[in-house]
Structure 1
Amino acid sequence: MSADETAQGGQVKSAVRTVELLEYFAGRPGMHSLADVQQAVGYPKSSLYMLLRTLTDLGWVETDATGTRYGIGVRALLVGTSYIDGDEVVSAARTTLDRLSDDTTETIHLARLDGPNVVYLATRQSQHYLRPFTRVGRRLPAHSTSLGKAILATHTDEQVRKLLPETLRPLTEHTITDIDELIEDLHAIREQGYAVDREENTLGLRCFGVAIPYRTPARDAISCSVPVARLTPGHEQMIKDALQDARDRLTLATRHL
């Protein structure tokens, strides 16, 4: 392998570019022109075109009818589904998620920390007409979600500062954007045993989350999301109790992992 084929740290440049390109498409649904992709990733146009053509032939990238616009391909879906199907935590959590959905009648999520974000691994839709919609595979900033904050609270303050950027992106007017304020919130979460997203990710929606402690620090959490318009003090307490009961059952179900 020639020196120019190897990126810094011993990484293979072509492999790094392939992954970066797939992540670009994964984070930007729809079709994109070669010029737009080239501007975003910064690769030489000739190299980018050859890489796109190879990925298209292999099914990882698709083109439109004109052959000039590109998007994520079906092969990525197959690999993503394989990850979910083979994950032991997702498998162990199915019964608990079903029960939590029945008990609360609200939207339930299982998510995993991925860098400064959380990625949704499983979801159960609310039984109500007014309900949030979240798909498996969605990625959101950890600092703006009850799922993410529940997981971050199992980390030390130093670990949190290393995981998150200094400037936290606001998703709503209620999002905590100051890292010191977030760490104060994490201290409270450790004391009370659950996290609350107070319309920090989506206006009109409050979410409650607990981490699954099968490893320390945690990497997974479950949450319950409910529209503020439907949230009464009694319903809120029932959700908190149900989540903590679900955490206890998942702790037993994942103790072998």
Structure 2
Amino acid sequence: MSVLASPKSHKDRDFTQVQVINRAASILRAIRISGGLTLSQLAREVGLARTTVYRIVSTLESEGLLTTQTPDGKIQLGIELIPLGAAVRTDVRRELRPYLEELSLTLDETVDLAILDKDHVLFLDQIVKLHRLHAVSGVGLEFPLHCTANGKALLSTFTYDEFRRVIPDRLQKFTPNTISTRDQLSSELETVRQEGIAYDREEHTQGICAVGAVVYAPTDTLVAISIPVPSVRFYGNEGKLASKLLQICQMINARYQP
């Protein structure tokens, strides 16, 4: 008598499909953060068998989402992600600008919108308040993660392995206040996670401070909002800045967080 295997249920097939999507997302995320990995490095990073990673990478490459045709042989993001990334950034700016404008109007201060770009923070949008003393970061410019409020806010969402891969043991000092070691930064990020707010106390530029927090954008993209303020208007006022920022972030998350 033969025993026939029962066909997979719809539930089983759905679970398998979701699992594949999760694995593909993990692979894309690892490549984005690292800037490029070999197949073996990628398999270790995402905790999957090399053969499994190879199959997923091959499929993603056939769709132009990854490429293995690189000078150093490392797997990198493909050109089909470029228009997708541009669309995401456009949508994020358009959807969140009213919130930025409201926050800027409430505090009468400049407000920034930024996103993670490999091992830097990239500024996407800015509402500028033209005081005699004001902070202007520059849309399209990149800044370090370890010494900016929005950078620290984004870092607070990293896993331990992601954090260690992106942040070196020794960190570049820009001012006397800049955190200079990974261990010091890791300790501060614990506070950021608990309070939901990150601070830059003249750590990137002397005379400029900021508060920053992470929000979930309408495209499920993690972004950060920050309020850069000249130090003369920051100290003694940081509690109010943080409170107003968190209020706006809660409004955004209530609407968009999955």
TM-score (norm 2): 0.64
In structure 2, the residue matched to 1:11 is: 69
SS in structure 2 of the partner of residue 172 of structure 1: coil
Take 1:121 and 1:138, find their aligned partners in 2: how far apart are those partners?
Answer: 8
1:183 corresponds to which of 176, 182, 186: 186
In structure 2, the residue matched to 1:131 is: 134
Per the TM alignment, residue 84 of structure 1 is displaced from its structure 2 partner at its CA by 7.0
Q: Percent identity?
A: 30
Q: Is the 8 A contact 1:93 1:253 kept in 2?
A: no
Per the TM alignment, residue 143 of structure 1 is displaced from its structure 2 partner at its CA by 0.6
Gap change, CA 1:127 and 1:237, over 3 Å in 2: farther
Take 1:226 and 1:199, find their aligned partners in 2: how far apart are those partners?
Answer: 10
Gap change, CA 1:223 and 1:182, over 3 Å in 2: same
Q: Is the 8 A contact 1:123 1:136 kept in 2?
A: yes
Take 1:175 and 1:84, find their aligned partners in 2: how far apart are those partners?
Answer: 34
**1:249 lines up with 2:243 in the alignment:** no
Gap change, CA 1:184 and 1:218, over 3 Å in 2: farther
Gap change, CA 1:84 and 1:130, over 3 Å in 2: farther
In structure 2, the residue matched to 1:240 is: 242
Take 2:148 and 2:133, find their aligned partners in 1: how far apart are those partners?
Answer: 20
2:153 corresponds to which of 146, 150, 154: 150
Gap change, CA 1:191 and 1:218, over 3 Å in 2: farther
Q: Is the 8 A contact 1:146 1:196 kept in 2?
A: yes
Q: How does 1:55-66 map to 2 (within 5 A)?
A: none
Per the TM alignment, residue 86 of structure 1 is displaced from its structure 2 partner at its CA by 5.6
SS in structure 2 of the partner of residue 143 of structure 1: coil
Report how many aligned residue pairs link the two structures.
184
In structure 2, the residue matched to 1:19 is: none
TM-score (norm 1): 0.64
SS in structure 2 of the partner of residue 87 of structure 1: helix
SS in structure 1 of the partner of residue 209 of structure 2: strand
Q: How does 1:1-257 map to 2 (within 5 A)?
A: 10-13=68-71, 83=86, 87-213=90-216, 219-233=222-236, 235-255=237-257
Per-residue CA deviation, residues 132-191 of structure 1 (Å, 9 max, x unaligned), is 122111101111100010111112233211122232111112111100000000001111
Gap change, CA 1:106 and 1:253, over 3 Å in 2: same
CA RMSD of aligned residues (A): 2.8
Gap change, CA 1:97 and 1:156, over 3 Å in 2: same
Per the TM alignment, residue 193 of structure 1 is displaced from its structure 2 partner at its CA by 1.3
Q: Is the 8 A contact 1:149 1:195 kept in 2?
A: yes
Q: Which amino acid aligns with 1:187?
A: E
Take 1:219 and 1:85, find their aligned partners in 2: how far apart are those partners?
Answer: 11
Gap change, CA 1:253 and 1:238, over 3 Å in 2: same
Per the TM alignment, residue 12 of structure 1 is displaced from its structure 2 partner at its CA by 4.6
Q: Please list every run of 5 or more consecutive structure 1 residues that lacks an aligned counterpart in the other structure.
A: 1-7, 17-78
Gap change, CA 1:180 and 1:246, over 3 Å in 2: same
Moved over 3 A (4+): none
Gap change, CA 1:232 and 1:162, over 3 Å in 2: closer
Take 1:86 and 1:236, find their aligned partners in 2: how far apart are those partners?
Answer: 29
